[in-house]
């Protein structure tokens, strides 16, 4: 699809230095992260809009979408983790001036994303209904959820292709283009949601299934635009149809880096499934609250993930270029900004929980349960920003197992057991304290592993170069 003429040489044939190796860290991080933060805020908006419209149908409809979250999160885990592996390998190869390896990472990445879409499509068609029956026997929730999940997973080619082409743009510093693709997909979703859910303008009323159809249409359009932008504007990589095939060494390296991220986010699916089981033993309204919380917290976490995604290519590139001074500066700045965002989020959840829950047409019971839940859970935000950044630094530098250990300990060894023990008291309000407890565990491990990673990097690279 591209040829080598699209490479960017400078006079004399030497490869031009990528901005990630020479631009001052603050404007570089702002330029790479802000577009992604904006686009992820819009994504958070359309995720919330989905639930806002669905909640107008009934609380069972909202519960169905909430119970489907682990399946959607699993897709995001695989797509995001594969993207982390591909990005880290591609950016590091560019930093080391290994163009052929960078191209191979890109084309192999496209292949593994497509395979992931096929596997999830099969899973969605065959296992969506058993998944919901394992959580509840309320027929309307099972029917709504099955329709929603079969569409989202059966047409997962959209989300995986969107992940792939956005990550290729991000890994080479073209985050504005990535932002544009995400914004277009999100806007399409937001526009189509009420039309397809309620059957406006003469179209059939699809209810919960309409939310799923709107989502996959937005994803497919965004993916097509992302592909075009890579072919047209991304001169640091060369996508070729004949090169989109498995390369054993590349697949192994992509997943060596990416699997901990996949497992980390997949554990989030297990955690959500487990929490839903614990909460529904109190009342099904508690699961609706938990679903609403996850939609609302995305407004806080999505910008941090955007900041994080902007940081990873900078860390990987400069580590590959043996510029540990720039790596350190990037870590400090990113962790500070992430913490500030989380403080703002904690404040909002404590000061206006009723306003936030009001978007979901809550019953009096949902409002009472949700007010306590948002306030208690939000205290975990104060530590989560640093934990997220520290884990991604370990991945970008090549120690993904550390991130995996932190995630497993936080969500399996800490959060779910704490939730189960607190539930034994019979007091629902106490269950929400499992989130701050688990984040303290994660903080201790994150500090330890980040220090260990940086010391290993210093030993490998030696004294950092200075400008």
Q: What pLDDT was estimated at residue 152?
A: 92
395 pLDDT above the threshold of 80: no
Tokens of 383: 């530590």
State how far the Cα of 380 lies from the Cα of 401, in Å rounded to an integer. Answer: 23
State how far the Cα of 437 lies from the Cα of 451, in Å rounded to an integer. Answer: 22
pLDDT tier at 3, thresholds 50, 70, 90: very low
Q: pLDDT per residue over 83-118, tens digit each?
A: 888 888 887 787 778 888 888 888 888 999 999 999
pLDDT tier at 46, thresholds 50, 70, 90: low
- The conformation of residue 9, written as its DSSP 8-state character, comes to B
Q: pLDDT per residue over 298-353, tens digit each?
A: 888 888 888 887 888 888 888 877 788 888 889 999 999 999 999 999 999 999 99
The verdict on pTM exceeding 0.85 is: no
Q: Which of 31-45, 377-391, 405-419 has the highest mean pLDDT?
A: 377-391
Tokens of 66: 């909430």
Q: What pLDDT was estimated at residue 81?
A: 84
pLDDT tier at 55, thresholds 50, 70, 90: confident
N-terminal to C-terminal alpha carbon distance within the chain: 38
Across 406-420, average pLDDT? 88
Across 352-379, average pLDDT? 93
């Amino acid at each position: 699809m591209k040829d080598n003429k699209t490479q960017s040489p400078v006079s004399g044939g030497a490869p031009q230095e990528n901005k990630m190796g020479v631009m001052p860290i603050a404007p570089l991080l702002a330029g790479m992260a802000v577009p992604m933060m904006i686009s992820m805020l819009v994504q958070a908006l359309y995720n919330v809009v989905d639930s806002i419209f669905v909640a107008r149908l009934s609380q069972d409809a909202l519960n169905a979408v909430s119970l489907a979250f682990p399946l959607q999160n699993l897709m995001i885990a695989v797509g995001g983790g594969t993207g982390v592996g591909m990005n880290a390998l591609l950016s590091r190869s560019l930093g080391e001036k290994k163009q052929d390896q960078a191209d191979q990472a890109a084309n192999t990445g496209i292949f593994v994303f497509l395979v992931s879409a096929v596997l999830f499509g099969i899973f969605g068609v065959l296992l969506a209904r058993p998944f919901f029956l394992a959580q509840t026997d309320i027929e309307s929730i099972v029917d709504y959820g099955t329709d929603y999940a079969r569409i989202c997973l059966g047409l997962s080619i959209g989300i995986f292709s969107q992940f792939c082409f956005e990550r290729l743009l991000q890994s080479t510093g073209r985050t504005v283009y990535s932002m544009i693709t995400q914004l277009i997909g999100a806007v399409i979703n937001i526009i189509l949601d009420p039309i397809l859910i309620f059957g406006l303008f003469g179209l059939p009323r699809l209810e919960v299934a309409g939310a799923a159809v709107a989502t996959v249409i937005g994803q497919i359009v965004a993916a097509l635009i992302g592909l075009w932008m890579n072919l047209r504007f991304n001169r640091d990589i060369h996508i070729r149809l004949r090169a989109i095939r498995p390369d054993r060494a590349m697949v192994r390296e992509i997943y060596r880096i990416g699997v901990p991220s996949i497992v980390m986010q997949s554990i989030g699916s297990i955690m959500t499934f487990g929490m839903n089981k614990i909460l529904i033993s109190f009342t099904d309204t508690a699961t609706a609250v938990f679903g609403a919380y996850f939609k609302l917290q995305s407004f806080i976490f999505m910008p941090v993930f955007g900041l994080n995604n902007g940081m990873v290519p900078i860390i990987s590139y400069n580590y590959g270029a043996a510029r540990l001074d720039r790596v350190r500066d990037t870590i400090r700045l990113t962790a500070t900004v992430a913490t500030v965002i989380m403080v703002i989020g904690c404040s909002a959840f404590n000061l206006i929980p009723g306003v936030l829950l009001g978007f979901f047409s809550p019953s009096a019971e949902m409002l009472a349960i949700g007010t306590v839940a948002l306030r208690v859970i939000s205290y975990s935000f104060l530590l989560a920003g640093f934990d997220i950044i520290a884990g991604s630094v370990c991945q970008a530098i090549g120690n993904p197992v550390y991130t995996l250990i932190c995630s497993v300990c936080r969500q399996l060894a800490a959060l779910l057991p704490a939730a189960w023990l607190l539930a034994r008291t019979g007091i629902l309000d106490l269950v929400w304290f499992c989130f701050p407890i688990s984040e303290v565990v994660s903080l201790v491990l994150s500090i330890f592993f980040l220090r260990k990673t940086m010391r290993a990097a210093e030993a490998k690279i030696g004294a950092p170069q200075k400008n």
